[in-house]
Structure 1
Amino acid sequence: MGRQRRRMAMRRECLHALQPKAYTPRTPDSTHGLRCAPNRRLDQPKLTRANQVGVSDSTYLPLANGDWAYLCAFQDRCTKHVVGWHAGATMPEELVTTALQRVFFAQSPIPSLIVHSDRGRTQ
């Protein structure tokens, strides 16, 4: 059935398509001008064991009901395993700190552990 025929059939039945309202989730602002830590991994040799460097990032996930969930995950850079994560309805600082606490519960950090994250910040 062509598009025009579907439209006509819907009109006859007094049906119309529901358009979800446009929503742009709030993401971190990486142009905040705040001081950033130096990249300590620049020109370093390849990692050979776990629990040396952790990386993290935050993202948003669309939910079936139209809402959004925010996710922060920490990954071991050597093994590529996710070692801690947390999801929530908003993206406050606690999203990141709770995920990091879960990393420390899963594995004890070594004194030289480096944790790298993007340069954004929550609004």
Structure 2
Amino acid sequence: MSKLKLHLDADTSIKALHNALVSRGHDVTRTPTEWMPFDASDDAQLLGATAQERCIFTFNIRDFMILAERYPQHCGIVLAAQSSWTLSSLISALHRLLSETQAEEWIGQVRWLNQWRT
């Protein structure tokens, strides 16, 4: 089993969120990065994360539900409704998700972050 790696898409690319997860020992990247420009399309973000063997976290529920069907071999999509989360609750839930799941569990999966809410 391998440790889950996460990518924060353009919608969830919050520096404080990224820094908090990295400081807790998680392998997390965010848009923009050397392999993902800030203005990348949703398709490019999902495919880029998949190429990097990363699950992607997004608030863009509608578009990523469609992309999950278009690209069924993605490395996982984590969805959350932006309005229902504070920064601290995002950090806590994503920390739990990254600590409790393995990369292999996520292939082709779309799951709601609420599963890891405390």
TM-score, shorter chain, exceeding 0.5? no
**For the pair shown, which has the larger CA radius of gyration, 1 or 2?**
1
* Structure richer in strand, relative to its length: 1
TM-score category (smaller protein): under 0.3
* Structure richer in helix, relative to its length: 2
TM-score normalised by length of structure 1 = 0.25
Larger relative CO (CA 8 A, sep 6+): 1 or 2?
Answer: 2
